[in-house]
Amino acid sequence: MIAPSAYLLLSAILFGIGVVGVVARKNVLIILMSVELMLNGVNVAFVAAGSYLGDAAGGVFAFMVMTVAAAEAAVGLALLIALYRLKETVDITELKVLKW
């Protein structure tokens, strides 16, 4: 039996890598992937906590997040393709029209 803290540590590491990816990377595709990483980090925490407490709600919640993440990925990738067709770039630092 692995201690719950180990799962939570993994979760935090995954989430942290995701956050750094979102904040620091320029490629929109990488940013979307980083968001997925963050979501999955959270999922690990849910499942671990559900297992530890003997509560099925944690697993159910993880499935919910996966569903939403799938939908989000579909929409996000569609937007990404539309964006690329329009601007011929996926570099987020070049997409800064929306400002003062």
Q: Are 65 and 47 in contact (CB under 8 A)?
A: no
- Residues linked to residue 27 through DSSP beta bridges, in sequence order: 91
Site string for other proteins, 63-92 (x = CB under 8 A): -----------------------------x
Q: How far apart are CA 12 and CA 55, in angstroms?
A: 21
Strands (E), 39-83: none
Give the Cα-Cα-Cα angle 92, 95, 100 (nearest 5 degrees). Answer: 125
Q: Which of 9, 12, 24, 75 binds other proteins (CB under 8 A)?
A: 24
Measured from the CB atom, is 2 or 23 closer to other proteins? 23
Size of the site for other proteins (CB under 8 A): 13
Question: Of these, 22, 65, 66, 80, which contacts other proteins (CB under 8 A)?
Answer: 22
- Reading the block at residue 4, the tokens are 């719950």
Any contact of residue 5 with other proteins (CB under 8 A)? Answer: no
Residues that bind other proteins (CB under 8 A): 19, 22-24, 26, 92-93, 95-100
